[in-house]
Amino acid sequence: MVRRNPLRELWERDRTAFGLWATVPGSFGAELLAGAGFDYLCVDQQHGVLDYAAMVPMLQAARAAGAAPLTRVLSGDPALVTKALDAGAWGVIVPLVSDGAAAARVVSACRFPPRGSRSYGPVRAAEVIGSSDPGVVEREALCFVMVETAEGVGNVEEIAATPGLDGIYIGPADLSLSLGSGELERAVGRIREACEDAGIVPGIHCFSGEEARRRAEEGFRLVTVTSDAALLREGARRELAAARRAPSR
């Protein structure tokens, strides 16, 4: 039975997908957090302390727990993009894309000929999607690029208009470093509007549930709520602080 990409189904119902960013290796942690009700779990191969071998069981665990598995790859290298999609990720997020030509190369890596250059070999993806048909496999794979530089913001309308691109994901940290914090919100608004005008999905990385809710209200449709590392750190600090406030005996 062919399975639809659950995130595509959400957006068809005009709903926002809320997700978790995974940077800590381990399938059990991914399973626990994905099972909390997140719509997706994105395994971070760029800045997370994990590699391809760690990613695959995390993708498996996330899907088993009910969250759509995504991954941020190291770069737009077609070999990295293809291998991640073949491993069963429902989509890839490619960092540091700053012009339309770079976005077109990413799309090409996600699509089979004649639309692109992706080599055929959906080893695990065919099991996840329920079909080995190239058209079906290609249709369900999500292709997102990150705009996180001043150059990228300047070219965002061109990037958003790239045929075959599903969305743009904002990395606020790098974007703030590139632009300065005073220009961040203006750039965020411009990127969101470019996505809306092009009919693609605007996405953004957040650091709390409150921020995620606000971004969803602004119109973002792929919204990362927080990360596994942040939850571990803040949860540990909170409980330790509570313990130390207890009356001594």
Residues acting as catalytic residues: 47
Sign of the Cα pseudo-torsion (51, 84, 10, 31, in order) = negative
Sign of the Cα pseudo-torsion (76, 161, 203, 57, in order) = negative
How far is residue 171's CA from residue 37's CA, in Å, rounded to a whole number? 23
Q: Please return the burial class of 235, using the count of CB atoms within 10 Å of its CB with bins 0-12, 13-18 and 19+.
A: exposed
Count of C-beta atoms within a 10 Å radius of residue 64: 14
Q: Which amino acid is at 189?
A: G
Contact at 8 Å (CB) between 137 and 129?
A: yes
How far is residue 218's CA from residue 223's CA, in Å, rounded to a whole number? 11
Three-state DSSP class for residue 162: coil
Contact at 8 Å (CB) between 40 and 245?
A: no
